[in-house]
Amino acid sequence: MKYQELHIQTQREFPNNARTQGFGWLVRAGYVTRENEILPLGGQMISRLQNLSTDSSFFSHLPLPIIYNEHENFFALSAGSTEITHCEFCKYTARLELSQIKKSVFVQEEPQQIEKVLTPECHTIEALASFLNIPKEKTAKALMYTRTADNQFVFVVVRGDMTLSEAKLKDKVGEVRLATAEEITKAGAAAGYASPVGLNAKDALIVVDDLVAQSPNLAAGANETGYHLLNTNCGRDYSPEIVADFIQAKAGDVCINCGQPLSVINSISLATRQELNFENILLALAETHHDDKGLTFPKSAAPFDVYLMHIAGKELDTRVKAEEIYNELTSAGFTVLFDDRDERAGVKFNDADLIGCPVRITVGEKNLKNGMVELKPRKADQNMLIPQADIIANLREIR
């Protein structure tokens, strides 16, 4: 393709909104706008990636560090909005909100008798644990929702030190929203002092995290303002409808597979089983393939194999010669970006470096007189002079 057909506009300055180096270079090289809209050059890159992706081993050929599980491929990026848990040891990987963790019962003991105690101003787990002088692990936390489909009141219990994953809840019961004060009162619960004990199964769908079901003697609300119950036991004092995993993982939680600590990593999603996110793949490639002059795309994932340019001559028409080479290379199956502008050599060299095709070929008068062209792999420091007849053989050798 011709440079001018693609309407490439490179930028001198890094966009001030660039959250990452890779994005900054994509904007400067004219792949995307500052608003992250794909420009024709970006479209060309993406259509090449799409062609490559028909190969089932696409990701194994892409030079990218990928974190993956059986459902999804991720690329770690601090500015990425998809949080995942990852185990360095066994490579367990999951979206944070769906990640499983290994849970353990805080203390295994015989169920004790339930006891109602006065707990003034204990609206939160922190206040309750501090007032009762017990660890948060010995408390049960209540969260109340209403299912949007049928207005069913949903009462959720997780251990006091843990956080509910709403994604897991929705997965089990359907779409929900937070319950209103009226709905809480109507179900017989008391905000800040709520527990499933004493609730009517008709009024509340009781949903319990599996760790709560195994944990004896948790302090929970008494459904009466100012009071809590000591030693509540799931199964004895209330009967949940659903017992499952409802916990949101956090950094340092224990890997479900191998018991090592999990890290939480920001990432972007590159592919699910159903579809590939080519814009994110382009960004990931830019993050991993650039230097201080621009992008350095590898041969296996570049918008074009070759950046071809001519330098205007005094005696020879270098443009016509470059056009000949362009036709020769495209006939041989190479994709070529022909910089057909009448710009100064320096401008073209800079743009070639910015755009980052694996090889630049320069057609200049002096070399041409000797039947030579200049060939420079993007990542090499030196260029080489090669006979025009050997261009294709040389290109095939460059990785």
Among 38, 258, 312, 398, binds Zn ion (CB under 5 A): 258
Q: Which is nearer to Zn ion, 44 or 99 (CB)?
A: 99
Q: Which is nearer to Zn ion, 77 or 94 (CB)?
A: 94
Q: Which is nearer to Zn ion, 73 or 93 (CB)?
A: 93
Q: Which is nearer to Zn ion, 99 or 223 (CB)?
A: 99
Among 157, 255, 282, 386, binds Zn ion (CB under 5 A): 255
Binding to Zn ion in span 69-128, by CB under 5 A: 87, 89-90, 92
Q: Which is nearer to Zn ion, 65 or 261 (CB)?
A: 261
DSSP 295-322: B---GGG-S-SEEEEE---SSS-HHHHH
**CB 90, min distance to Zn ion, A:** 3
Buried b (16+ CB within 10 A) or exposed e, 249-264: beeebbbbeeeeebeb
Tokens encoding 53: 């992706």
Question: Quick one: CA dihedral 5, 6, 7, 8, positive or negative?
Answer: negative
* Cα 68 from Cα 248, distance rounded (Å): 19
- Count of residues engaged in binding Zn ion, rule: CB under 5 A: 8
* Cα 193 from Cα 191, distance rounded (Å): 5
**CB 83, min distance to Zn ion, A:** 17
**CB 259, min distance to Zn ion, A:** 7
DSSP 241-258: SEEE--BPP-TTPEETTT
Tokens encoding 370: 């000797």
Q: Which is nearer to Zn ion, 17 or 104 (CB)?
A: 104
Is residue 257 close enough to count as binding Zn ion by CB under 5 A? yes
Other Cβ atoms within 10 Å of 187 Cβ, number? 21
Vertex 51: Cα angle to 48 and 56 (nearest 5):
130
Q: Which is nearer to Zn ion, 90 or 320 (CB)?
A: 90
Piece in contact with Zn ion (CB under 5 A), picked from 19-27, 36-44, 248-256, 332-340: 248-256
**CB 85, min distance to Zn ion, A:** 10
Is residue 357 close enough to count as binding Zn ion by CB under 5 A? no
Tokens 């030190």, residue located? 161
Is residue 251 close enough to count as binding Zn ion by CB under 5 A? no
Which residues would be at the binding site for Zn ion (CB under 5 A)? 87, 89-90, 92, 255, 257-258, 260
